[in-house]
């Protein structure tokens, strides 16, 4: 574990408040490290600027998330510093392999993908995502908050037209058809002829009206009786997204599709609840809606464990510890 103060060049998109880079920065700084943020999209010659910053700042390592710069630029930057990538998704796009190879150390949030990535870079490790509490603090809940954000069942995410999102639509529709009061938040469903029945139907009418993050996300988590979630690839071992840690850290009673290995991170039935089918999901929703004390106990236990083991302050200590042990 690192005890000295490090200098970290954080190369990542920063145009949205939910970009992972903001949380990485907070986690690093809470450990006493110095962070220089660089969003390549904010300058006209990002490759040249990245080299200038690396030479001037002299970081102990550079950390990035996706394809903020061409892979060959990161390969070149390895001459100046240690290049680390922490990829925050479970989907493996065609553009990713060159970046895996252009890293001194590559971290994946999906344990089930480690061996695949190791064939491209032996210095590949699993590092699950986390929660950054400082972005989700709420001082109190008003009567208006209760009116807007309360629901029997809440879902926060995308219901667009990608295959993974269409699966979510089916589950969401099933919840509504079973008679539960559901409210969902996220980007609007794209307006197309094919989506008109969805938008004008039960799912569209259950829309909360906007994308929520930060304090509003925390209010949805706290005020909904059941916070429903669907990870993109539940078949990939321990590929839970940051959504789980964020929702549970905000105090949600979290119910999700079972991800292989999830029980090694948060315990189903005690800290979260998982299901493997639409039928099991509806049965569990019906049961837990009638058991407020159990819901509160599970939500409290989950939040306590996330704050104890799964914050970005802790995760950055783990990341740096692995880097220093290797290099």
For residue 38, how many C-alpha atoms fall within 13 Å in the half-sphere facing its CB?
A: 25
Mean pLDDT to the nearest integer, 93-110 = 98
Rounded to an integer, what distance in angstroms lies between the CA atom of residue 205 and that of residue 54?
50
- Rg (C-alpha) for the chain, rounded Å, is 21
Question: Are residues 75 and 194 both part of a single domain?
Answer: no
Judge whether 2 lies within some domain: no
Per-residue pLDDT at 21: 94
Confidence band, pLDDT 50/70/90 cuts, at residue 73: very high
Locate 154 and state its tokens: 């809440």
Provide mean pLDDT across the span 296-310: 98
What band does 193 get if pLDDT is binned at 50, 70 and 90?
A: confident
Q: For residues 95 and 178, what is the distance between their CA atoms, to the nearest angstrom?
A: 41
Q: How far is CA 67 from the centre of its chain?
A: 17
- Taking the C-alpha atoms of residue 278 and residue 170, their distance in angstroms, rounded to an integer, is 9
Range of the domain at 124: 7-130+311-326
Please check the confidence at residue 76 and state whether its pLDDT lies above 50. yes
Examine the domain organization and report whether 164 and 280 are in the same domain.
Answer: yes
Q: In what order do the strands lie in the sheet with 105-108?
A: 34-38, 7-11, 61-64, 82-87, 105-108, 124-126
d(CA 163, CA 223): 30
In a domain, 34, yes or no: yes
Q: Is the pLDDT of residue 2 over 50?
A: no
For the chain, give the percent of residues with pLDDT over 90: 91
Place of tokens 């990485």: 24
pLDDT tens digits, 7-44: 999 999 999 888 999 999 999 999 999 999 999 999 99
Shared domain check, 254 and 120: no
Any alpha helices (H) in 193-267, and if so which ranges? Answer: 196-200, 202-205, 215-223, 242-249
**Long-range contacts of the stretch 92-96 (C-beta < 8 A, 24+):** 92/116, 95/67, 96/67
Q: What CATH number is associated with residue 196?
A: 3.40.50.2000
pLDDT of 3 reads 65
| Both tokens assigned to 38 | 């660089």
Tell me whether residue 203 is in a domain. yes
C-alpha distances in Å from residue 212, one per residue of 131, 184, 188, 220, 221:
16, 10, 12, 8, 11
| Among candidate residues 257, 307, 321, the one with its CA nearest the CA of residue 136 | 307
Residue 15: in which H helix or E strand, if any? none
pLDDT reported for residue 17: 87
Write out the DSSP string of 149-209. Answer: H-EEEEEES--SSSHHHHHHHHHHHHHHHTT--EEEESSPPP--TTTHHHHHSHHHHTB-S
- d(CA 109, CA 86) in angstroms, rounded, equals 8
- pLDDT, averaged across the chain: 95
Instruction: State the Cα torsion 241-308-247-114 to the nearest 10°.
Output: 0
Task: Report yes or no on 37 lying in a domain.
Answer: yes
Q: Is the pLDDT of residue 133 over 70?
A: yes
Instruction: Say yes or no: 227 and 90 in one domain.
Output: no
Here the tokens at position 55 are 């030479």
150 and 124, same structural domain? no
Higher pLDDT, 5 or 161: 5
**What is the spatial distance between Cα 275 and Cα 258, in angstroms, rounded to a whole number?**
5
Are 264 and 317 in a shared domain?
no
Between β-strands 61-64 and 7-11, what pairing exists: parallel, antiparallel or unpaired?
A: parallel
Q: 126: which strand partners?
A: 108
Instruction: Answer whether residue 219 is part of any domain.
Output: yes
**Residues contacting residue 173 through CB under 8 Å, at least 6 positions apart:** 202, 203
- Sign of the four-CA dihedral 246, 313, 145, 296: positive
- Looking at the fold, whether 71 and 88 belong to one and the same domain comes out as yes
């Amino acid at each position: 574990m690192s005890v000295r103060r490090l200098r970290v060049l954080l190369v990542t998109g920063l145009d949205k408040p939910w970009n992972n880079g903001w949380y990485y920065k907070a986690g690093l700084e809470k450990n006493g490290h110095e962070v220089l943020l660089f969003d390549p999209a904010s300058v006209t010659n990002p490759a040249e600027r990245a080299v200038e910053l690396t030479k001037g700042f002299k970081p102990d390592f550079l950390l990035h998330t996706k394809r903020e710069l061409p892979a060959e630029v990161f390969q070149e930057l390895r001459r100046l510093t240690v290049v680390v990538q922490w990829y925050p998704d479970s989907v493996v796009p065609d553009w990713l392999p060159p970046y895996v190879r252009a890293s001194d150390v590559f971290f994946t949030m999906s344990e089930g993908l480690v061996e695949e990535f190791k064939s491209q870079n032996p210095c590949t490790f699993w590092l699950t995502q986390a929660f950054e509490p400082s972005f989700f603090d709420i001082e109190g809940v008003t009567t208006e908050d209760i009116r807007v954000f309360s629901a029997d069942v809440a879902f926060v995410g995308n219901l667009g037209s990608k295959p993974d999102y269409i699966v979510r639509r089916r589950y969401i529709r099933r919840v509504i058809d079973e008679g539960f009061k559901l409210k969902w938040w996220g980007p609007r469903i794209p307006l197309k002829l094919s989506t008109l029945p969805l938008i004008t139907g039960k799912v569209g009418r259950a829309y909360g009206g906007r994308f929520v993050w930060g304090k509003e996300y925390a209010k949805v988590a706290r005020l909904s009786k059941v916070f429903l979630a669907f990870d993109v690839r539940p078949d990939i071992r321990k590929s839970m997204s940051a959504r789980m840690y964020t929702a549970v850290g905000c105090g949600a009673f979290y119910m999700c599709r079972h991800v292989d290995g999830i029980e090694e991170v948060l315990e189903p039935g005690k800290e979260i609840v998982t299901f493997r089918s639409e039928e099991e999901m509806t049965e569990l929703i019906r049961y837990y809606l009638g058991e407020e004390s159990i819901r509160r106990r599970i939500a409290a236990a989950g939040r306590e464990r996330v704050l104890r083991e799964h914050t970005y302050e802790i995760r950055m200590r783990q990341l740096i510890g692995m880097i220093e042990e290797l290099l």
